[in-house]
């Protein structure tokens, strides 16, 4: 199966102006049409041998793409070096591919003789050079189209042979290849089923450690996405500024661009410059130019005097032209000027490797001329429900003894909420051969299979035996001391030569919901190098009965103004496995809580204190049109000193929370929080409300408590 394709346009002119690239998008369109499920990477690079080689190596060795299709740079001109770069990286050539393309093209034009295309294999990646025109790409793609899938299959098969031996040793039979699925699981002798679960009960800490360790084996791959689609993605390689920002000395005020050494006094107003006007003549002594915020200063001007610090001396009779103004306060050199590169120096890091792209960072990239960004790929997740009692949610009429499948919809939406797509693999019946067939289909499409139901002790709970006996899976855990979700199962297996991860969650809807948060999202976030969920401490608003098992209770938070910690209120006192939210946080009980024999994860709501001086009903942003609540305001401590402006300031910051701290610690993204510098907002999770400076207080000391508005996910 072709899982990932890269289309590389090699052309100096397209690199300078990507809008000129017609053959790349054409090739990409054909590739997407032929392999609609494959991840598609596109890139435009100049005719530089080193760069071409680097990208080919990257796509075959790091991004693990199956097919690299280049277009351009195959002709005879001095800069045409794509074939040389390709030859330098391939391990084996496949000359007949280029020969077939050439023979076909020769029937249309004798110019085809001048194409020097190369095709070859590097590891498991097939690389094919196409010529650089849209017409040639269209013709040549038709030639190779019939063999691409098979060629990639053959390359992948090398690995399957090796894995096949391994699978046989473990008793795994590859059912999906033979049409009708078989299973080694015998369900005829129900009377002899185990009366005790054979799976050791692992503690939560152990289950987390197992997931963390096993998911390290997830093989990293990268993809290139348009910046507009990159929200929440993790940057794969540091991105640098190709030009300074601002690219010219720019005014910070509406006023007059002057020469500071002229001091205070009357100046002739030579012209007016609004933002976007390119200044033509240098300023002379005794002159000034009326200027707007953001406009470029004329040569020799070294300061801006804001309009408030000037007086009109003379104007044209119609009032349309200022002739002379008086500068009242002598200006300082560089006053109210943003010098070239003061917001972003050329070569500065715009987004570092590992950064999680947010609106500010994406804005920075847009301002710096980046259209695409290389990010870590997300795993492909398949969702499957199991159970003979399940019917599609779309069926209005319930059949006798049936329930509608709510888990698949819930999990799809939950994954979406956390930025992950999923593949719907339907409902599988509790019958070994049907499960084998459904699991095979799911695993062939995804890296991670999430299924619900069939993991407990019933004679139709077949997931675990089918995974082990029919897929040779290793069960890393099959029971966890927790509530809800005791029979949660985590397994891995080799399938079609690739490692697959299986989260077999309990069928009870709440168990599936809670365990998806705790286990599945933890694993997915680790694959993308996202940090685990933030844990904060809160107080219970009321008593909470405890179960013998530690319990993950769904709760809401409330934020009274007088308490030190948020208050948590259980969604319902009866937390049997049929209800929903999440946030792993330490809380204080607001009331007495009866304990069960087992540690219990009780569902509660939380309240969070803010300071008494908090402006009580001030919305930071009017979310009200959609009847959404305002952003949460919480109290935090400054991790460092913060200089105060004359105006109250909403400073962009990140939070760090240790369970030993009484309050989260806030760190400003950058000390320079100037409003033209979007970089100082990139990565911010809170707006810190800093008070305006007074005569006696010009800075807040480390540890000072201020209000923070949560504007993003707080991790």
Ligand X SMILES: Nc1nc2c(c(=O)[nH]1)N[C@H]1C(S)=C(S)[C@@H](COP(=O)(O)OP(=O)(O)OC[C@H]3O[C@@H](n4cnc5c(N)ncnc54)[C@H](O)[C@@H]3O)O[C@H]1N2
Chosen residue from 41, 483, 522, 607 binding ligand MOO by CB under 6 A: 483
CA-to-CA dists, residue 695 to 266, 293, 646, angstroms: 33, 29, 10
Chosen residue from 407, 496, 605, 707 binding ligand X by CB under 6 A: 407
**Runs of H (alpha helix) within 482-589:** 509-515, 521-527
Segment near ligand X (CB under 6 A); pick from 214-222, 237-245, 405-413, 433-441: 405-413
Chosen residue from 577, 589, 693, 705 binding ligand MOO by CB under 6 A: 577
Segment near ligand MOO (CB under 6 A); pick from 34-42, 316-324, 504-512, 687-695: 504-512
Q: Check binding of 485 to ligand MOO (CB under 6 A).
A: yes
Segment near ligand X (CB under 6 A); pick from 449-457, 557-565, 620-628, 703-711: 449-457
Chosen residue from 80, 287, 336, 461 binding ligand X by CB under 6 A: 461
Q: How far is the CB of 552 from ligand X (least distance, A)?
A: 13
Tell me, residue by residue from 509 to 548, as one string, x for binding to ligand X by CB under 6 A and - for no binding.
x-x-------------------------------------
Rounded to 10 deg, the angle between the 134-169 and 95-106 helix axes is: 150
Q: Rounded to an integer, what distance in angstroms lies between the CA atom of residue 667 and that of residue 644?
A: 15
Residue (of 686, 644, 691) closest to 666 by Cα position: 686
User: Are the C-beta atoms of 97 and 131 separated by less than 8 Å?
Assistant: no
Query: Is the CB of 195 or the CB of 658 nearer to ligand X?
Result: 195
398 binds, among ligand X, ligand MOO, none (CB under 5 to 8 A by kind): none
User: Are the C-beta atoms of 218 and 251 separated by less than 8 Å?
Assistant: no
Within 8 A by CB and 6+ apart from 500, the residues are: 443, 446, 447, 448, 449, 492, 493, 494
Q: Check binding of 335 to ligand MOO (CB under 6 A).
A: no
Query: Is the CB of 256 or the CB of 601 nearer to ligand X?
Result: 601
Chosen residue from 486, 522, 567, 607 binding ligand X by CB under 6 A: 486
User: Are the C-beta atoms of 447 and 500 separated by less than 8 Å?
Assistant: yes
Segment near ligand MOO (CB under 6 A); pick from 100-108, 465-473, 503-511, 698-706: 503-511
Segment near ligand MOO (CB under 6 A); pick from 194-202, 239-247, 421-429, 484-492: 484-492
Chosen residue from 102, 221, 422, 508 binding ligand MOO by CB under 6 A: 508
User: Are the C-beta atoms of 289 and 259 separated by less than 8 Å?
Assistant: no
Chosen residue from 42, 105, 183, 508 binding ligand X by CB under 6 A: 508
Q: Check binding of 489 to ligand MOO (CB under 6 A).
A: no
Q: How many CB atoms lie within 10 A of CB 673?
A: 20
Q: Check binding of 74 to ligand X (CB under 6 A).
A: no
Q: Rounded to an integer, what distance in angstroms lies between the CA atom of residue 652 and that of residue 649?
A: 9
- Residue 659 sits at φ, ψ, to 5 deg, of -65, -15
Q: CA triplet 477, 480, 484: central angle to 5 degrees? A: 135
DSSP structure string for 182-232: ------S-GGGS-SS-SS--B-HHHHHHHHHHHHTTSPP-EEEEEGGG-TT
Chosen residue from 246, 484, 664, 683 binding ligand MOO by CB under 6 A: 484
432 binds, among ligand X, ligand MOO, none (CB under 5 to 8 A by kind): none
Q: Which positions from 47 through 106 interact with ligand MOO, judged by CB under 6 A?
A: none
269 binds, among ligand MOO, ligand X, none (CB under 5 to 8 A by kind): none
SS (H, E, C) 37-68: CCEEEEEEECCCHHHHHHHHHHHHHHCCCCEE
Query: Is the CB of 73 or the CB of 478 nearer to ligand X?
Result: 478
Quickly tell me which residue has 């249309």 as its tokens.
108
User: What H or E segment, with its residue span, contains residue 441?
Assistant: helix 432-445
Q: Check binding of 454 to ligand X (CB under 6 A).
A: yes
Chosen residue from 125, 183, 511, 673 binding ligand MOO by CB under 6 A: 511
In the numeric block, which tokens belong to residue 328? 């009242």
Query: Is the CB of 125 or the CB of 452 nearer to ligand MOO?
Result: 452
Query: Is the CB of 471 or the CB of 513 nearer to ligand MOO?
Result: 513
Question: What count of Cα atoms within 13 Å lies in the side-chain half-sphere of residue 573?
Answer: 9
Q: How far is the CB of 572 from ligand X (least distance, A)?
A: 18
- Backbone Cα Rg of the chain: 32
Tell me which DSSP letter residue 235 carries.
B
Chosen residue from 220, 457, 576, 619 binding ligand X by CB under 6 A: 457
Query: Is the CB of 120 or the CB of 453 nearer to ligand X?
Result: 453
Q: Check binding of 545 to ligand MOO (CB under 6 A).
A: no
Q: How far is the CB of 197 from ligand MOO (least distance, A)?
A: 12
> Number of residues in contact with ligand MOO, rule: CB under 6 A?
8
Residue nearest to ligand X (CB): 507
Query: Is the CB of 279 or the CB of 453 nearer to ligand X?
Result: 453
Q: Write b or e for each residue in 219-228: b if 16 or more Cβ atoms lie within 10 A of its Cβ, otherwise e.
A: eebbbbbebe
Query: Is the CB of 406 or the CB of 429 nearer to ligand X?
Result: 406
Chosen residue from 270, 486, 525, 677 binding ligand MOO by CB under 6 A: 486
Instruction: Count the residues in the chain.
Output: 715
Q: How far is the CB of 486 from ligand X (least distance, A)?
A: 4
Q: Check binding of 575 to ligand X (CB under 6 A).
A: no
- Residue 442 sits at φ, ψ, to 5 deg, of -65, -45
125 binds, among ligand X, ligand MOO, none (CB under 5 to 8 A by kind): none
**Runs of H (alpha helix) within 597-703:** none
Segment near ligand MOO (CB under 6 A); pick from 35-43, 136-144, 483-491, 694-702: 483-491
Q: Rounded to an integer, what distance in angstroms lies between the CA atom of residue 483 and that of residue 511?
A: 8
Within 8 A by CB and 6+ apart from 152, the residues are: 1, 2, 66, 67, 126
Q: Rounded to an integer, what distance in angstroms lies between the CA atom of residue 169 and that of residue 167?
A: 5
Cis peptide preceding 484, ω within 30 of 0: yes
- Residue 120 sits at φ, ψ, to 5 deg, of -170, 180
Contact footprint for ligand X (CB under 6 A): 385, 387, 389-390, 403, 405-407, 452-458, 461, 484-487, 506-509, 511, 577
Contact footprint for ligand MOO (CB under 6 A): 483-486, 506, 508, 511, 577
């Amino acid at each position: 199966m072709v899982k990932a394709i890269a289309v590389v346009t090699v052309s100096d002119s397209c690199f300078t102006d990507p809008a000129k690239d017609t053959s790349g998008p054409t090739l990409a369109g054909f590739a997407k049409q032929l392999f609609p499920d494959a991840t598609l990477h596109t890139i435009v690079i100049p005719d530089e041998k080193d760069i071409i080689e680097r990208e080919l190596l990257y796509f075959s060795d790091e991004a693990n793409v199956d097919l690299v299709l280049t277009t351009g740079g195959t002709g005879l001109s001095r800069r045409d070096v794509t074939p040389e770069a390709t030859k330098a990286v391939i391990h084996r050539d496949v000359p007949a591919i280029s020969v077939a393309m050439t023979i076909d093209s020769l029937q249309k034009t004798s110019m085809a003789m001048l194409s020097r295309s190369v095709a070859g294999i590097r590891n498991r990646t097939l690389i094919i050079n196409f010529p650089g025109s849209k017409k040639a790409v269209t013709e040549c793609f038709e030639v190779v189209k019939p063999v691409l899938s098979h060629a990639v299959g053959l390359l992948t098969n090398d690995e399957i042979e090796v894995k096949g031996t391994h699978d046989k040793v473990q008793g795994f039979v590859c059912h999906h290849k033979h049409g009708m699925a078989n299973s080694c699981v015998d369900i005829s002798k129900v009377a002899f089923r185990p009366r005790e679960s054979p799976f050791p009960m692992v503690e939560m800490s152990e289950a987390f450690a197992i997931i963390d360790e096993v998911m390290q084996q997830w093989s990293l791959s990268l993809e290139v996405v348009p910046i507009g689609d990159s929200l929440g993605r993790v940057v794969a390689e540091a991105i640098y500024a190709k030009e300074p920002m601002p690219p010219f000395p720019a005014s910070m005020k509406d006023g007059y661009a002057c020469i500071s050494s002229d001091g205070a006094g009357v100046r002739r107003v030579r012209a007016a410059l609004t933002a976007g006007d390119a200044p033509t003549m240098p300023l002379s002594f005794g002159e000034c130019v009326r200027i707007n915020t953001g406009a470029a200063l004329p040569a020799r001007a070294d300061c801006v005097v804001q309009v408030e610090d000037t007086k009109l001396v003379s104007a044209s009779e119609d009032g349309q032209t200022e002739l002379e103004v008086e500068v009242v306060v002598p200006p300082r050199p560089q006053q109210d000027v943003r010098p070239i590169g003061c917001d972003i120096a050329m070569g500065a890091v715009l987004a570092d490797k590992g950064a999680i792209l947010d609106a500010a960072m994406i804005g920075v990239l847009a301002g710096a001329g980046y259209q695409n960004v290389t990010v870590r790929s997300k795993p492909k997740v398949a969702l499957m429900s199991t159970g003979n009692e399940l019917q599609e949610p779309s069926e209005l009429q319930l059949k006798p003894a049936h329930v509608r499948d709510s888990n698949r919809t819930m999990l799809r939406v939950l994954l979406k909420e956390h930025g992950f797509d999923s593949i719907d693999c339907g409902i599988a019946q509790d019958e070994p051969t049907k499960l084998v067939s459904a699991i095979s289909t799911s695993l062939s499409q995804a890296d991670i299979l999430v299924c619900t139901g069939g993991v407990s002790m019933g004679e139709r709970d077949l997931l675990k035996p089918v995974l082990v006996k029919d897929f040779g899976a290793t069960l890393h855990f099959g029971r966890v001391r927790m509530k809800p979700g005791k029979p949660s199962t985590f397994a891995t297996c080799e399938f079609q030569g690739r490692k697959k991860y299986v989260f077999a969650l309990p069928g009870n809807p709440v168990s599936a919901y809670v365990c998806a948060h705790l286990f599945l999202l933890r694993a997915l976030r680790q694959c993308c190098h996202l940090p685990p969920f933030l844990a904060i401490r809160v107080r219970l608003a009321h008593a909470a009965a405890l179960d013998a098992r530690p319990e993950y209770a769904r709760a809401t938070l409330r934020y009274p103004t007088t308490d030190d910690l948020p208050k948590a209120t259980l969604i319902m006192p009866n937390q049997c496995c049929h209800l929903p939210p999440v946030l792993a946080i330490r809380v204080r009980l607001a009331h007495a809580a009866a304990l069960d024999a087992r540690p219990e994860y009780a569902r509660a709501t939380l309240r969070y204190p803010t300071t008494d001086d908090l402006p009580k009903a001030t919305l930071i942003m009017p979310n009200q049109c959609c009847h959404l609540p305002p952003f949460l305001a919480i109290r935090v401590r400054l991790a460092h000193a913060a200089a105060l402006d004359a105006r109250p300031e909403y400073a962009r910051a990140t939070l760090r929370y240790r369970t030993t701290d009484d309050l989260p610690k806030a760190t400003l993204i950058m000390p320079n929080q100037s409003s033209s510098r979007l970089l100082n907002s990139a990565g911010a999770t809170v707006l810190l409300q800093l008070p305006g400076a007074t005569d006696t207080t010009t800075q807040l000391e480390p540890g000072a408590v201020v209000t923070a508005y949560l504007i993003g996910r707080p991790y």
